[in-house]
Amino acid sequence: MLLILAAILLGVALGLALKGRLRALSEIHLRWWPLALAGLALQIVPVPTMEGSLDRWLGVGLLVASYLVLLAFVVLNISQPGFALMGIGFALNALVISLNGGMPVSREALRVAAGPAYPLAVRHLVQEGGQKHHLRREDDVLTPLSDVIPAGPPVSQILSPGDVLALLGITWFIAGAMRKKTDG
């Protein structure tokens, strides 16, 4: 969520640099905007530990569902600046997660992102994170599109190329929306 906030703030800064107006943001009209909130909420729904692999599949199902809801929101608003880029990012993430039963995470990227907390991060990912994410396995596919881009401290997060495209789309949307003409 910190990176989404950063993308919004970067969009505002870019919009101002391009002589956009903050007031224009109040004029934004997005269709079915609660879908965006629902899609984000589905990504953070906690999945309790269950017998067998039910918790893993429930977690993966929620993650895929979140991207499908976000894609529906994008399609409904595709004429907005940056939405096509967001849609490509969401679609890439949904594809990788669906094909691999969760988002593969690169050990190398995790090492950079976690820094000295790397052993704890690996343990956490193996014990608790495997419901939606897992350490990259030999049988994973499309791994260059998985979580391979480290963002070190203070963010300490790993991104996929899809995440980067979605964040760039958000930035583009905010900057573009600020450039729209408003009354007054």
* Residue 132: closest CA among 45, 36, 37, 41: 45
- Per-residue model confidence as pLDDT tens digits over 20-63: 999 999 999 999 999 999 999 999 988 877 777 788 889 899 99
Report the range of poorest mean pLDDT among 6-10, 135-139, 143-147, 179-183: 179-183
- Per-residue model confidence as pLDDT tens digits over 129-153: 666 889 999 999 999 999 999 998 8
- Provide the whole-model pTM: 0.92
Tokens of 87: 């849609």
133: phi then psi, degrees, rounded to nearest 5: -130, 160
How far is the C-alpha of 18 from the C-alpha of 27, rounded, in Å?
Answer: 18
Q: What is the mean pLDDT of residues 10-20?
A: 97
How far lies 88's CA from each of 2, 37, 67, 69, in Å?
21, 19, 11, 14
Instruction: Return the higher-pLDDT residue of 19 and 181.
Output: 19
Residue for token pair 């596919």: 141
The 10 Å Cβ neighbour count of residue 18 is 11
Please, which residues have CB within 8 angstroms of residue 132's CB and are 6 or more apart in sequence? 43, 47, 59, 60, 62, 63, 97, 102, 103
The 10 Å Cβ neighbour count of residue 64 is 19
Band (6; pLDDT cuts 50, 70, 90): very high
For residues 159 and 119, the answer to whether their CB atoms sit within 8 Å is: no
Question: Domain residue spans in the chain?
Answer: 34-171
